[in-house]
Amino acid sequence: MKKNIKILKKKLKNYSYNPKLKEECGVFGVSNSKDAAALTALGLHALQHRGQEGCGIVTFDGKNYYSEKRFGLVGDNFNKEKVLKNLVGNYAIGHNRYSTTGENTLRNIQPFFADTNAGGIGVSHNGNLTNSITLRNKLVEDGAIFHTTSDTETIVQLIAKSKRNKTIDKVIDALFQIQGGYALVMLTQNTLIGVRDPYGIRPLVIGKIKDSYVFTSETCALDIIGAKYIRDVENGEVVYVEDNELKSIKPFPSRKVRPCVFEYIYFARPDSLLGGKSAYEHRKNFGIELAKENKIDGDIIVPVPDSGNAAALGFAQYLGKNFELGLIRNHYVGRTFIEPSQKIRSLGVKLKLNANKSTIKNKKIILIDDSLVRGTTSHKIVKMLYDAGAKEVHVKIACPEIRYPDFYGVDTPTKKELLAANKSNDEICEYIGAKSLDFLSIDGMYKAMGFKKRDNTYPQLTDHYFTGDYPVKPIDELGDDKITQLSLLSTGSSN
Ligand code: AMP
């Protein structure tokens, strides 16, 4: 056993794949529509907030597959008649890519496509596999050649390698080998497939427009094309459209869903439905609970736009206080996190926001944001508000302290960079330069979502950011601040 661990560790050390590559992406797929490519481009446009680095569409016309991949935004790339004209066929899948570190090359832009002995297959993936390096090493040992540095290619290779006859069975074969948080939309010969991981960490919904089914990350992508929301894909469910009929398989042992709480806090677009309620409503409720926990006297409630808008509204409405736009956002720059280096990220805050001086001068301000990660945003904004004449700035964060990194596809930094993992509340408050600082409690967060409290035996959400409770052990992660391969071998995987 010890020898095996040593060999495995050595292999992982020598491995050139970048284990930090993480993606929080948008996926979309549509069946049976003569406008398949255009609908996919529109859907991806609605999901643009989930990834802005690259985008791609793969279509199938009953005989051939067609693929277009581009760097940058959907609107800049797929609005041209020329590009959409190349994407022939009634079936299409698409992908918006968001990567933080690692290679930003065209070959890493999805959907990925491969020819297997059961025909072609295109794959769009949102999430992160927690055992992809281990799987990849085994595949490479068996002679597989990888073309990309993305964990999604591991899924494609596993599907291609399966000895089963039907493509859907090959997919299920692959699913039993992968672990992590994932939502997949795949396209094979006239079959559209959607998969959500066994805990339902990453989101995936089903919609319908005329005779076409849609599988996508969020309901806002259904709204844009006028599709009706049917339901969420269940955790561990494989849905597919064959002969124009929606079919479902549940290959995994049944367990309760544990969606990622960060979709509710930050990622999903406010108008998207999560568990039957809009993300906007959830966020307003986080603000209401935050107000209940921290009844502080202030002149005005100011949101960090746009991430703190809904929580600040809930906070202000609950306390009957004035909600003011004390910060004005320039909408022509992306999210600060999109920039891979800390230096550029901190510049990004200045590019994005400016103090609305006349509103904040001499005011005691309650500043509300959805989350605090490295503290870059709060640090800059608090200074900006004081420089613009604010009397006092009190910061309220509409989620608990983020103390643990993510391994399921959300871009959180390592523990070293997470402010709340290394500093006390007072130290964070001093770092960001605020008069006071408060976070929503864990129970407050659960209450805001309609639960009595957190079920500590089987938590209703994937909330490791605050609790360190990882439903799937992150077995590939290496380094002092990560859970190591060694701990996996001793604890096993919960999957
Ligand atoms: P920070 O400035 O590092 O404290 O990050 C907090 C800010 O970034 C908040 O305004 C959030 O809305 C936003 N944010 C939090 N998590 C993420 C993420 N995973 N990706 C992009 N932005 C994020």
What is the per-residue DSSP string for 192-250? Answer: EEEEE-TT--S--EEEEETTEEEEES-THHHHTTTPEEEEEPPTT-EEEEETTEEEEE-
> Among the three residues 197, 229, 258, which one is the final residue of a domain in this structure?
258
Is residue 441 included in any domain, yes or no? yes
112 and 180 belong to one structural domain? yes
CA 228 to ligand 1 centroid distance, Å: 31
Q: Give residue-wise pLDDT tens across range 71-105.
A: 999 999 998 777 899 999 999 999 999 864 345 67
Is residue 435 included in any domain, yes or no? yes
CA 48 to ligand 1 centroid distance, Å: 16
- Asked if residues 398 and 294 have their Cβ atoms less than 8 Å apart, the reply is no
Q: Structure pTM?
A: 0.89
Is residue 475 included in any domain, yes or no? no
Is residue 66 included in any domain, yes or no? yes
Determine which residue's CA is closest to atom 15 belonging to ligand 1. Answer: 371
Is residue 466 included in any domain, yes or no? no
Contacts of 5 (CB under 8 A, 6+ apart): 485, 486, 489
376 and 421 belong to one structural domain? yes
The CATH number for 182's domain is 3.60.20.10
Distance of alpha carbon 365 from alpha carbon 349, whole angstroms: 19
Q: Give residue-wise pLDDT tens across range 54-74.
A: 999 999 999 999 999 999 999
Of 243-247, 359-363, 411-415, 418-422, the one with minimum mean pLDDT is 411-415
- Asked whether the predicted pLDDT for residue 17 surpasses 50, the reply is no
Is residue 492 included in any domain, yes or no? no
Ligand 1 first shell, C-beta below 6 A = 266, 304, 307, 335-337, 369-378, 410-412
213 and 313 belong to one structural domain? no
Q: Give residue-wise pLDDT tens across range 215-252.
A: 999 999 999 999 999 999 999 999 999 999 999 999 99
Determine which residue's CA is closest to atom 11 belonging to ligand 1. Answer: 371
Instruction: Please choose from 264, 329, 346, 377 the residue to mutate so as to test ligand 1's pocket, defined by most ligand atoms within 8 A of CB.
Output: 377
Determine which residue's CA is closest to atom 3 belonging to ligand 1. Answer: 374
- Give me the domain span that covers residue 429: 277-461
Of 20-29, 124-133, 443-452, the one with minimum mean pLDDT is 20-29
- Asked if residues 418 and 391 have their Cβ atoms less than 8 Å apart, the reply is no
CA 398 to ligand 1 centroid distance, Å: 12
- Write down the mean pLDDT value for the chain: 88
148 pLDDT band, cuts 50/70/90, is confident
Instruction: Please choose from 20, 266, 396 the residue to mutate so as to test ligand 1's pocket, defined by most ligand atoms within 8 A of CB.
Output: 266
The CATH number for 424's domain is 3.40.50.2020
Determine which residue's CA is closest to atom 9 belonging to ligand 1. Answer: 371
- pLDDT in the model for residue 80: 74
233 and 344 belong to one structural domain? no
Q: Can you tell me which atom of ligand 1 is nearest the CA of 338?
A: 21
190 and 301 belong to one structural domain? no
- Asked if residues 23 and 98 have their Cβ atoms less than 8 Å apart, the reply is yes
339 and 425 belong to one structural domain? yes
353 and 252 belong to one structural domain? no
238 and 323 belong to one structural domain? no
Identify each DSSP E strand in 313-363 by its residue range.
322-323, 327-329, 353-355
Is residue 265 included in any domain, yes or no? no
Specify the number of domains making up the chain: 2
The active-site residue out of 25, 55, 399, 429 is: 25
Tell me if the bond preceding 306 is cis, omega within 30° of 0: yes
Q: Is 25 an annotated catalytic residue?
A: yes
The C-alpha R_g of the chain, in whole angstroms, comes to: 23
